[in-house]
Amino acid sequence: EVQLVESGGGLVQPGGSLRISCAASEFIFRNYWMHWVRQAPGKGLEWVSFIKNDGTFTTFADSVKGRFTISRDNAKNTMYLQMNSLRADDTAVYYCATGGDNYYDSWGQGTLVTVSS
């Protein structure tokens, strides 16, 4: 069974930086496109970022473009989200997600990022 485990969340001050990770197992990670999705407290799901299986193509939501960077290390079966210039409205649970067909069939349990002074 596909396993995705996020880590690295925590409390960070406004303007600060944080890198979160998504460790994958039980599937051929290098073959799969990967996404980050977040959910702010009491709010709906928001797509954040995408990275192609070989890491050569990435896209971002307008709300994070220029502040967040997505990357992956296929040798380590791990994806990353580098978050800079963090704002209060970035506070959310961040999930990594993937799927073979055109939908997410696997999600991690999420990691909470709190931006507050």
Partner 1 sequence: QSALTQPASVSGSPGQSITISCTGTSSDVGGSNQVSWYQHHPGKAPRAMIYDVTKRPSGVSNRFSGSKSGNTASLTISGLQADDEADYYCLSLTTTTTWVFGGGTKLTVL
Long-range pairs of 79-82 with CB within 8 A, sequence gap ≥ 24? 79/21, 79/22, 79/24, 79/34, 79/36, 79/51, 80/19, 80/20, 80/21, 80/22, 81/19, 81/20, 81/21, 81/22, 81/36, 81/48, 81/49, 82/17, 82/19
46 makes contact with partner 1 (CB under 8 A): yes
Query: What length is written for the chain?
Result: 117
7 makes contact with partner 1 (CB under 8 A): no
**Rounded Cα–Cα distance for residues 34 and 44 (Å):** 20
The correct pick among 21, 53, 63, 74 for binding partner 1 (CB under 8 A) is 63
Residue 12 or 96: the one with the smaller Cβ distance to partner 1 is 96
Q: Which stretch binds partner 1 (CB under 8 A): 5-13, 16-24, 60-68, 77-85?
A: 60-68
The correct pick among 41, 44, 66, 117 for binding partner 1 (CB under 8 A) is 44
25 makes contact with partner 1 (CB under 8 A): no
Q: Which stretch binds partner 1 (CB under 8 A): 15-23, 24-32, 38-46, 67-75?
A: 38-46
- Contact residues for partner 1 (CB under 8 A)? 35, 37, 44-47, 50, 57, 59-63, 95, 99, 101-105, 107-109
